[in-house]
Amino acid sequence: MDAHATSAEPERSHPSVGVYVRIGLVLFVLTALEVGLYEFTYGGHAGPAGAAIQPFFVPLLLLLSAGKFALVAMFYMHLKQDHRLFTGVFVFPLIIATVLILGLVVLEAYHFAFARAG
Amino acid sequence: MATTALDQQRAHAAAGHEPTGLWSWITTVDHKRIGILYGATAFTFFLMGGIEALLLRIQLGTPNNTFLSPETYNELFTMHGTTMIFLAIMPLSAAFFNFIIPLQIGARDVAFPRLNAFSYWVFLLGGLFLNASWLFGAAPDTGWFGYANLTSKQYSPGLHVDFWMLGLQTLGVASLAAAVNFFTTVLNMRAPGMKLMRMPIFTWMSFITQVLLLLAFPVITVALILLMFDRFFGTNFYVPTAGGDPLLWQHLFWIFGHPEVYILILPAFGIVSEVLPVFARKPLFGYAAMVFSGIFIAFLAFGVWAHHMFATGMGPIADTYFSLATMLIAIPTGVKIFNWLGTVWGGSIQYKTPMYFALAFVAMFIIGGLSGVMHGSPPADLQQTDTYFVVAHFHYVMFGGSIFGLAAGAYYWWPKMFGRMLDERLGKLHFWLMLIGFNLTFFPMHILGLNGMPRRVYTYPEGLGFEELNLLETISAFLLAASFAVFLYNIIKTWRGPRNAPADPWNAATLEWTIPSPPQEWNFAEIPVVHGRDPLWEAKREHGGPLPEPPKVSGAGIHMPNPSYWPLVTALGLSAMMSGLMLIHHLGPWGIIAGGAILLFGVFNWAFEPAG
Amino acid sequence: MPLTPASRHLRRWACVLPLLVLVAGACSPGHYPQTTLRPLSDFARIGDDIQNNTLYWATGVFVLVEGALLYAIFRFRGRPDDPEPSQVHGNTVIEIIWTVIPALILAAIAVPTVRGIFQTNAIPTGDVLRVDVVGHQWWWEFRYPTLNLTTANELHIPVGQTVSLHLGSADVIHSFWPPRFAGKRDVFPNRETRLWFKAERAGEYPGQCAEFCGIQHARMAFRVRAQSPAEFQTWVAHMQTLGTKPAAAAPARDSVHTASAGATVRSDPQAAPPAGPTDPAYAAGEKLFAAKGCVGCHSLTAVNAPKGLVGPNLANVGARTYIAAGTLKNTDENLAHWIRDPQGIKKGVLMPNLGVTADEARSLVAFLRAHQ
Amino acid sequence: MTDTAHAGHLETATGLDNRKLAIWTFIGSECLFFASLISNYLVHKETWLTGPGPFPHEAWTSPAGKVFEPIIEIPLVTLGTALLLFSSLFVVLALANAQRGNRKGLLLWLGLTLLCGVFFVGMQVYEFTHFVHKGLTLKTNLFGGSFFVLTGFHGTHVTIGVIWLFTLWIEAFRGKIPPAKSLNLEIAALYWHFVDVVWVVIFPVVYLIK
């Protein structure tokens, strides 16, 4: 990751206003999907199909949320066009953060299960 | 008055003079001065931590001793650990980051000079805050690890834990601000031609340290925030009777705490990797392997935290994972040790004081590393953990490692920092006293630990066999202390002498030795262009011998950042907020609001002040 | 006074020899009753074997690497005017070798480690004796749920039978550590941890809290009393009789086998036979025990003992080796001293100074001594 | 607001601006901060031993027979989420205008961003007050504690962002953000987007997943 490869910051061509607005719409739709999924599974409109979705609810929701996260980071925060170094400085901690959350949840779940079972 | 003093200074600087006087130190944004401030402050705290250690050793010299009361002992061992880690070793490393990194990469200053001053002031105020607890008779007393739920309001009423928790929080701000600064500095401020794989190894190891700081400190920040809410606002995160989980504290603490260990040792790795080649007159053996093993160690640092917690009973799967991951760290560490050996092998070793310390570092670190592997195995660690075996292990790493490394750095860079050569004979006396005192103090702890002496006990009964070695350790601790008296004497003696250091007293390889000792305010009259890993050696080879002494030049035309007192005001605001938080039950929110107002005032004036 | 070379020699050795003896003695595990190096149970042996294996490898590495370093330090001394040594930058083959060899050594450590992890984490089955261990600031409670018995600060276990410890804490985190039998296991409030071991030899062995737990962490010791199955049964049967009034005649305590090496030979706390319920001092002590509020924190029954008391169970306190969790030997003087001034002896302990007079203390000692 | 040792215009070794690299570094560090808070929330959200149990989504009857109403109001929070997402859009539009030197556009979009931010904070203040009235405080149970600490620290970040952007709005109003200084806004915008993506994670994890 030798940063000298590009000695000067290239004139960044940030996306056009149209792209920003379209991304904004997609974000809005994804949020609506999240809430809709919740309503469909657990909310007032939940039916028998909702019960069938329940096992997939959490993964689906996390997927949608990850999608929104990626869109904002890539387009609004310009990671897609900017220097790769910025992506590295953001994504490396992000990976460690994710592993940390997973690790802690797994370790604590084991503790709680083992301890409370006596 | 402030403005006029500043104006005078600017006029002074424009004329090419070094500013002098107390005000110039308070408003300084020069990385070299900040480095010296860090060094002097941290060394003072180091001496305090050392005195604390001596008191502990007197108490443990004989069984059932009553020299210290149990609560004083607990305060002293807590403050000894906290002081040495946060107020001595880390800021001593920071002193070298500050002074040396910009010089090694050919820069005129760090990326954010005022932020740098802010880091120092926050560190100083945080250290004073922590130690102010002594004046209130409420020094922290739950260990540097502060295990919940002993730290809860129920089991630790009083201000002891509050001082500790808010003090660490303050110091964390200083570390994070400095880490952002140095991360940016190393990436962005390198002289033309200094590619990443041409960076001096000290800069490399320091850079990795900044990454660890950036990723580890937020975790302890959160752990401390949760503790703060438990103590001040009635939450129950660590209160088991309400369903909270004291084990979460241990997880969060060690997710921070294990990288912290490498934060303490990596700069020393870097220093030693600079000193060994210079005095063996050979380039560093396996530069790339040294860099990548450093990166690998840092990466693994985030995956091994729970090896501090084998005794908590995490189950066989977690034990296996954390044990194997821990053992993996031995591989890159081994690579480093072998490369140091490879560096001196076949060299023409010049025995100056820095080299003594650097070689002893390698020898001592091997011992600390090997006992570390012994802890890596949970069934064995269940016996070793929380005994003096562990105390021995981490003193071999922290003292035999970090302090020997930092001492090597101090003797090595002293001429560059102050323009004076430290006395060689006194330096060697310091070395031998320290080496012997250190080993006699800490090696017997291995034996005591394996034979059943637990840690963190203010006394021990007769009849368990601990008497003889403890007495030996106590006597030796004074020998160790004497070695630092010699060091102090050396400093004072040299201070009285003339500035006698040439630009390149050791026949060194890196950029900081191409400029006068001590460097002028702007470091490099002309920004150097780098063509290789050992630029000064290459220049000397080309020249066919030692280079002529670089002349002092006028700084006319070189634009340097303006001095500023806003970092100090901002730091004072932050400390006032922390103090307000501690007194929240007496002052209500007003203390915090007042501190916050000062903080905002400082930040805005800082932001809108012309940086120069 | 001039010395001949021989006598000078002798004198030097005369100084060094005692020092060597001292060091050798201080290094031998036999010098330390609380050592981890002489395991007395299956559990402790698992860890000890792994530790020895690791220690052998570590010693080998230590000798080789420090040897090479010392060799280099002496062999490659240079003078300032020496020619520049050859400028070696590295050697890929060598670097690969010294990456692989440590990896292999670690594998040799990792394999037994993983086996040991699973062995020590196994849940014991079959003929096991369950003991519930509760850590308190700053003493240990031991409950035998299957035997319906409770005692404090002395863990009685039968030799040859696996004991399965279920550990918890009443307040903060402690760590239960009987070094001769097992490594540490932390005890948590509201969370159960486990530990097991099968004792191999009878005797009395020290143990200690190993996690910092407040002002008196240092004074939170306990004793493990491993007994032959028959002796253990006798002890259980005796304890079963301990209600509010102790049995008139205590069993002969000399029958406790303590002669094994490494065990502390117990000093009989009192020469005279203990006072019985008929003794006037005993009766006075009994009254005081209630009047001074001792009953608020201490139970005197081993059977059906109440849970959650602040102070240790005293049903057989008269027969214990130490009082105040390993702080003092259990002699009449110490016990009286302790009753009168616990805060002076163990500052911060939850037992307050109750203004007990010397006479009252004597009565209380007589009363407690009878509880064997 | 420049604070670099290279005065005037700079060439850095990477060609990247110091402040921009620094804010990304800070954001990377903040990832770990929020990860720790989220971990705490996940570990503790369903834990209680004293006091009422958790009652975020469903009505809950205590052993003593007291009924606790479900507490989370998804429509309100969805509105807040949408506001925050739109504010992210507005701030990039403000930046685009700043880079083109369109001061009016900059003031308009930055103003809208600020409004969204203020409304989001207002939503959170309303929600917190509402919860407290319904009986959920920091002390009630561990859901309460971990919920308030996690969303509260996010709200603090939003508030700091509002103050920062407001300062820039004033600067822009005074004509002090010409295209050459648009980086001042870009850095604040990066921080603002980060605060937004953190909410993108918090919203499903706290409000939608039971």
pLDDT, average across residues C341-370: 93
Res. B1: pLDDT tops 70 = no
pLDDT, average across residues D126-134: 91
What's the mean pLDDT when you consider all of chain B? 94
Region of B453 on the Ramachandran plot (φ > 0 left; ψ -120 to 50 alpha; else beta): beta
Nearest partner of B612 among B553, B562, B570, judged by Cα? B562
Does D7 contact chain B (CB < 8 Å)? yes
pLDDT of residue C19: 73
Residue B355: list chain C partners with CB under 8 A. Answer: none
Pick the CATH number of D18-51+77-208 from 3.40.50.720, 1.10.10.10, 1.20.120.80, 1.20.272.10: 1.20.120.80
Residue C193: list chain A partners with CB under 8 A. Answer: 115
Residue B607: list chain D partners with CB under 8 A. Answer: 1, 167
Nearest residue of chain C to residue B366 (CA atoms): C62
Q: What SS3 class is residue C188?
A: strand
Q: How far is the first Cα of chain C from the last one, in angstroms, to the nearest whole number? A: 65
Q: Are B386 and C175 in contact (CB under 8 A)?
A: yes
Confidence bin at D7 (pLDDT 50/70/90): very low
DSSP state of B83: I
Q: Residues in chain A, how many?
A: 118
Residue B112: list chain D partners with CB under 8 A. Answer: 3-4, 18, 22
3-state secondary structure D68-127: ECCCCCHHHHHHHHHHHHHHHHHHHHHHHHHHHCCHHHHHHHHHHHHHHHHHHHHHHHHH
Q: Are B42 and B124 in contact (CB under 8 A)?
A: no
C190, A111: Cβ pair inside 8 Å? no
Residues of B with CB under 8 A from a CB of A: 187, 195-197, 214-215, 219, 245, 247-248, 251, 255, 302-303, 306, 314-315, 317-318
pLDDT tens for each residue of B303-321: 999 999 999 999 999 999 9
pLDDT tens for each residue of B448-462: 999 999 999 999 999
Does A110 contact chain D (CB < 8 Å)? no
**Domain B2-564, what fold?**
Cytochrome C Oxidase; Chain A (1.20.210)
pLDDT tens for each residue of B384-396: 999 999 999 999 9
Confidence bin at B605 (pLDDT 50/70/90): very high
Of B184, B215, B604, the CB nearest to D18: B184
DSSP state of C84: P
Q: Are D11 and D4 in contact (CB under 8 A)?
A: no
Of C55, C72, C77, the CB nearest to B374: C55
Residue type, A96: I
Lowest mean pLDDT among A34-43, B338-347, D34-43, D102-111: A34-43
Q: Which residue has the higher pLDDT, D54 or B243?
A: B243
pLDDT of residue C8: 65
Strands D67-68 and C162-169 turn out to be unpaired
User: For residue B267, what are the CA distances in angstroms to A102, B100, B273, B296?
Assistant: 31, 12, 10, 15
pLDDT of residue D129: 94
Q: Are B199 and B538 in contact (CB under 8 A)?
A: no
Q: Which two tokens stand for residue B581?
A: 């938080």
> What ipTM was predicted for this assembly?
0.92
Residue B378: list chain C partners with CB under 8 A. Answer: 113, 116-117, 120
Q: Are B202 and B266 in contact (CB under 8 A)?
A: no
Q: Which residue has the higher pLDDT, D125 or C241?
A: D125
Enumerate helices (H) and strands (E) in chain D, giving the number of each: 5, 2
